[in-house]
Chains A and B, each alone.
Chain A
Amino acid sequence: MAKRRRKGLERRIARERILILFQQAEKEALRGNLRRSNRYIHLARRIGMRYNTPFPSALKRRFCRKCGSFLLPSENSRVRLRSSRITITCGECGHVMRMPYLREKSSRR
């Protein structure tokens, strides 16, 4: 009989691997080695897809959805608050990601 896959364990490892890759990507980006950071993001996204593991929401903003570059605010991306949305512009390809912050807004009132 084939060995049973342990998907829970696989997902846990996948999550840890994604976190490690983002840490390494940030480290390399701060050393000015963006090519390597982009490679790590590429690997992390593939791991996420393979094991059906979503990225932690904090990390979803750290790379460009379109071209896959690691985004380092002020270095190769622009983060602005515009009409109830956060807009993140990728400095590599110009793609704009928008995410609402309605919850934060309504809780202030």
Chain B
Amino acid sequence: MLHKHELIGLEAEIISSTCSTLVGFRGTVVDETKNTIVIEVKDVEKTIPKRGTLFRFHIDGGIDIDGARLLHRPEDRTKRAR
């Protein structure tokens, strides 16, 4: 259900990605667009593509979501995401 809910403000970690330099980043989600999620890691904003990335959101003990499932505008996600 989290893939339909608000991600801003959550603690997120990158478990795997097609770009190996992104793996392991952990921080607060501060913004979201159709194709990216912006995470603040140690006061630096990192823009991370959703496609090809596996995120872990640290809420309720950690929920893993494949970024490909989040590929919608934030306001459309509640009704579009499957």
Which of B4-12, B15-23, B60-68 is found at the contact surface with chain A? B4-12
Give the number of A-B contacts (CB < 8 Å).
40
**Count of chain B residues near A, Cβ 8 A:** 13
Interface size class of A (residues with CB under 8 A): 10 to 19
Which of A46-54, A76-84, A101-109 is found at the contact surface with chain B? A46-54
Which of A14-22, A60-68, A88-96 is found at the contact surface with chain B? A14-22
From residue 64 to 82 of chain B, which have CB atoms closer than 8 A to chain A?
A: 74-76, 78-79
Residues of chain A having any CB pair with chain B under 8 Å = 5, 10, 13-14, 16-17, 20-21, 23-24, 36, 39-40, 43, 46-47, 49-51
Residues of chain B having any CB pair with chain A under 8 Å = 4-6, 8-9, 30-32, 74-76, 78-79
